[in-house]
Structure 1
Amino acid sequence: MSWQWILSLVLAAGYALAFIAVLHALLRARQPQSALGWVAAILTLPLLGSMAYFIFGINRVDSRAAKLMSDTAERRMKALKASGLLSGGRVPPTLFAPDTCEIMRVGEGKPGSFRRLGCNHFTPLFNGDEAYPRMLEAIASARHEVFLCTYIFQGRVYGKAFADALLAAHRRGVDVRVLVDGMGTLPGFHKPWKRLQREGVPVHRFIPPHLLPPQMSVNLRNHRKVLVCDGEGFTGGMNIDDVHVMASRTREHVQDVHFLCEGPIVGELREAFLMDWAFVTGQDDTGRLYLPCGAGAMDGRVVMDGPGTPNDPVQDLLCGVISCARRRITVMTPYFLPPRELTSALVSAAARGVEVRVILPAVLDHAYVEWASDHTIPPLLENGVRIFRQPAPFAHTKLLLVDDIYVCLGSTNLDPRSLSLNFELNVEVFSPELNARLHEFAASVLAVSHEVTLENLLSQPLAVRLRNAAAWIFSPYL
């Protein structure tokens, strides 16, 4: 067979593969910019573009996650009904004002949402200075199980302290399990979780990258932060790293807020961890339902998001909650690249007289995200949304406060990566007490922050505005 025939066959195969890849991208891509990007790449380089699409563009994790989450949710509901806990511990809506009932109903029955449970208590822990000692104490006191899920687990001082505490718990017979993200654990030289592996503690990485078989899903990251120690739980946005301790001797510090969770909500955090554990290891023991006794008067609901959940549950939840606001909205987030739906919700709230304030860090750890964010801010400012920059050190805080009752805390940033690509975990809390405490915290931050004005952004040099616009084009992938 001549080389002309071989070349013709290769070209025919390439175009056939490209045709299949284009059809698949058009039918399966969730975002138009993703579909456009892949179709353009395939049509430009049919063979290489198609191969790249089939290796990197198809979300093979999605169907597996969907089945796992569906199965565990079905078992959970059966267990709740059998135990009589399906309606137990829930605060009747009649105890709240009508507008509060409206905001509480937004997340009911939505994909990724657990059931709202009452009789909880949530304590904010500011920075690692407050959070780490309390978390280490909980690990040291645990007698039955310690489950830890974190995106980053490093640090010469506090990473070692957590590793020591987890290893000590394992040696005294506690069921210790550690889940770290496959990409979040790549940077850094101090990796305490490796020592735990060597000592026999069950430690697994969430979708680690590898060449054979090809696994380069840099966007499918487990960004959740959960620690469950018997009847106590911790969640929020804080990783395990020395930088979160303001008193530590590191060149850079990162501010954040974590939360001690007490009450039945800890059972939902526990199940969320076990769902991730089953996803990574295949060891599915979520059927052992456990809801701790009541510890307060706060309603709470866990909301999970990520591949495998229909649509974008957290984005839909945030838009719905913002639409219920009557008086004020306060947003704190490190990365602010809101999709069109969320931007519209904030603008609509401001248009109906709601005070909308967004607090961002003055200095980001990724400059290109700040550039893209600066390009998205002017339309918000033009429509009455007020935006503030919090002074250094870098603030990693993620909070949404609505009126005098609602708090959303957890791991989700307001950017496409968190809202569409990562596995995230948030907790809705309905509590005037916690809302007031966090509004005090926000007021203290605003007192030292500077407000961003439309005039300042529009007066930036043309080169800066072009740079920001160029970064914004890639915002779905930042």
Structure 2
Amino acid sequence: MQEHLIHLRSLLHDYWPHLALALSVILGASAAIHAAMTKNDVRAAISWVGVIIMSPLLGPFLYLIAGINRVRRQSRLEQSADVFYEQVTYLHPPVSDIGALVGAPFRSLQILGDRVSRSQLRNGNNVRVLVGGDQTYPAMLQAIEQAHSTIALQSYIFDSDRLGREFVSALSRAHQRGVQIRVLVDAIGAKYSRTPIVRLLRREGIRCALFMTNPLGFLRMPYANLRSHRKLLIVDGTVGFTGGMNLRESFMAQYSEGKPSQDTHFRLEGPAVMQLLASFRHDWQFTTREDLSPAYWHASSTPAPRPHVPARCIASGPDRFMASTHHMLQGAFAIAQRHIRIQSPYFLPDQILLGALNTAARRGVQVDIVIPGQNNLRLVNYAMTAQLDQVLRAGCRVWRARGPFNHSKLMTIDGAWSYIGSSNLDPRSLRLNFELDVEIYSRDTARQIQNLIDLEIEEAEAVSLESLSSIGFGKRLRNRLIWLASPYL
């Protein structure tokens, strides 16, 4: 036996380069074939095959960790999502003809939404716009304090800072009143705080979980590429909050020396709240395998305060609804007749959406795009700058907002249709993250959002081709090289 071990060691010593080469070829070929056969986006396929070939051993390992979409293979859970949406009893029937309410061009957009969303477009919703943390967080805390039966809270980032502790205290008081509470935080977002918020929640006896902590089954690490970016709060099944705002003290004036970061959130009542809850229930079951009983968590449908507006949730993510938001934006840009207003902190649309925006501008539609003057992600800002010339040449107008960083994700079409929620216009939101957005057919809501965007434009700096060309060659080269990596930012 000892002689065999000595002989084996001798063979490994003499032939390890050959064995390493054979292993790298087998792993690399297997990974490259898998990428070529399963990736629907040719850019993603080429990128991954290139990484695998250029890094014979490291490349396949990176592809195993970040390149394989295991979520889409969870067919049983994805089918159960449809059940969640069907278990809701609504007071208001689906909208039969949106054209009669906001104009004929929007009929095709309603049909598109019917085909890419699990949810039906329903009237009877009340939408309240909340500007900044100073309006949003007190409204959310008030709803938690008034909760009687259930609270569902989901956030990408839930910091354990002073604001986070306020929310934990409010949730703890609700828990002591007998309210059933579930809190879902993304595993990557939880790492923004050195002391994860889940420790504080568990200490108070509040049921909580981290989304996508262990997708590989044997590696105890977050799956960094697939994140839950949804921001939801549903109280008693009757009041919902959603939009772009995480739970962070930097968005409140009292914690930011009077200079908070900006964002926009929305308070909803009506059928859309049940759709928010259906999304949460699916994500909670996906994470914990606990099915929240619709008989208890779904409130009986009650009329929302007027004015009533048609709305529906659009859930998207790296599952069979991967391209839902992408399709909705394409459709919205195609039916625009007068004006497209966009505000996004991270504006990195792919060539399809760029083409749709540029075509709208060439048709005579006024396209205004507002991005931050000061961005919290430097690399994303460099990549954005490298791509702005593509929309400027087509006649779109681009504005860099002054003042504090604005994290708002807002869009309106022709003053009648609004798209709000968690999605950014970047590759991560459009292909990798789990997102939740809401389309709203209301001229009043659109006017409020337009006013917010127009206020930014009034104080913003216009970006021009001349200003872009005046940037030094070294910085333009840097921006372009980082832009090449934008799918991974």
- What is the TM-score normalised by the length of structure 2? 0.91
Q: Say if 2:347 and 2:384, in contact at 8 Å, map to a contact too.
A: yes
Q: Say if 1:163 and 1:193, in contact at 8 Å, map to a contact too.
A: no
Partners of 2:53 and 2:96 in 1: CA distance: 56
What is residue 80 of structure 2 aligned with on the other side? 71
Q: Identify the range of structure 1 (201-210 vs 366-375) with the bigger mean alpha-carbon deviation.
A: 201-210
Give the superposed CA RMSD.
Answer: 2.2
Partners of 1:210 and 1:183 in 2: CA distance: 13
1:222-244 CA distances to partner (integer Å, 9 max, x unpaired)?
A: 11000000110000000111111
Q: Which amino acid aligns with 2:357?
A: L
Following superposition, the deviation at residue 129 of structure 1 comes to 0.5
* CA 1:117–1:343: 2 relative to 1, 3 Å: same
Partners of 1:7 and 1:461 in 2: CA distance: 47
220, 228, 245: which one aligns with 1:222: 228
Instruction: Note the 1:62-461 alignment, pairs <5 A.
Output: 62-64=72-74, 66-74=75-83, 76-77=85-86, 79=87, 85=90, 88=93, 90=95, 92-93=97-98, 95-96=100-101, 97-110=103-116, 112-154=117-159, 156-189=161-194, 191-208=196-213, 213-230=219-236, 231-250=238-257, 253-285=260-292, 287-288=294-295, 290=299, 292-295=301-304, 296=306, 297-461=308-472
Q: Which amino acid aligns with 1:59?
A: N
5+ residue gaps in structure 1? none
Q: Secondary structure at the match of 2:119?
A: coil
Q: Say if 1:67 and 1:308, in contact at 8 Å, map to a contact too.
A: no
1:468 paired with 2:455, answer no
* CA 1:93–1:260: 2 relative to 1, 3 Å: same
Following superposition, the deviation at residue 287 of structure 1 comes to 4.8
Partners of 1:11 and 1:464 in 2: CA distance: 40
1:233-282 CA distances to partner (integer Å, 9 max, x unpaired)?
A: 00000011111113433596210010000111111111111111011001
Q: Say if 2:345 and 2:371, in contact at 8 Å, map to a contact too.
A: yes
Partners of 2:265 and 2:323 in 1: CA distance: 24
Q: Say if 1:227 and 1:233, in contact at 8 Å, map to a contact too.
A: yes
Partners of 2:411 and 2:256 in 1: CA distance: 31
* CA 1:210–1:68: 2 relative to 1, 3 Å: closer
Q: Identify the range of structure 1 (8-17 vs 433-442) with the bigger mean alpha-carbon deviation.
A: 8-17
Partners of 2:28 and 2:168 in 1: CA distance: 49
* CA 1:243–1:190: 2 relative to 1, 3 Å: farther
Q: Say if 2:344 and 2:407, in contact at 8 Å, map to a contact too.
A: yes
Q: Secondary structure at the match of 1:255?
A: coil
Following superposition, the deviation at residue 308 of structure 1 comes to 1.1
Q: Say if 1:155 and 1:242, in contact at 8 Å, map to a contact too.
A: no
Report how many aligned residue pairs link the two structures: 472
Q: Secondary structure at the match of 1:240?
A: coil
3, 19, 34: which one aligns with 1:24: 34
* CA 1:336–1:93: 2 relative to 1, 3 Å: closer
* CA 1:59–1:268: 2 relative to 1, 3 Å: same
What is residue 45 of structure 2 aligned with on the other side? 35
1:302-360 CA distances to partner (integer Å, 9 max, x unpaired)?
A: 00111112441111111111111011010000001110011011101111111100011
Q: Which amino acid aligns with 1:57?
A: G
Partners of 1:60 and 1:215 in 2: CA distance: 15
Q: Say if 2:215 and 2:223, in contact at 8 Å, map to a contact too.
A: no
Q: Which amino acid aligns with 1:343?
A: L
Partners of 1:86 and 1:200 in 2: CA distance: 35
Following superposition, the deviation at residue 30 of structure 1 comes to 3.5
Q: Say if 1:334 and 1:360, in contact at 8 Å, map to a contact too.
A: yes
- What is the TM-score normalised by the length of structure 1? 0.93
Following superposition, the deviation at residue 35 of structure 1 comes to 2.2
Quote the sequence identity (%). 33
Following superposition, the deviation at residue 56 of structure 1 comes to 3.4
Q: Identify the range of structure 1 (289-298 vs 390-399) with the bigger mean alpha-carbon deviation.
A: 289-298
Q: Say if 2:91 and 2:302, in contact at 8 Å, map to a contact too.
A: no
Q: Say if 1:89 and 1:119, in contact at 8 Å, map to a contact too.
A: no
Partners of 1:8 and 1:248 in 2: CA distance: 60
Following superposition, the deviation at residue 99 of structure 1 comes to 1.6
Following superposition, the deviation at residue 109 of structure 1 comes to 2.1
Following superposition, the deviation at residue 187 of structure 1 comes to 1.9
Q: Which amino acid aligns with 2:199?
A: K
Q: Say if 2:109 and 2:328, in contact at 8 Å, map to a contact too.
A: no
Partners of 2:332 and 2:293 in 1: CA distance: 30
* CA 1:158–1:50: 2 relative to 1, 3 Å: closer
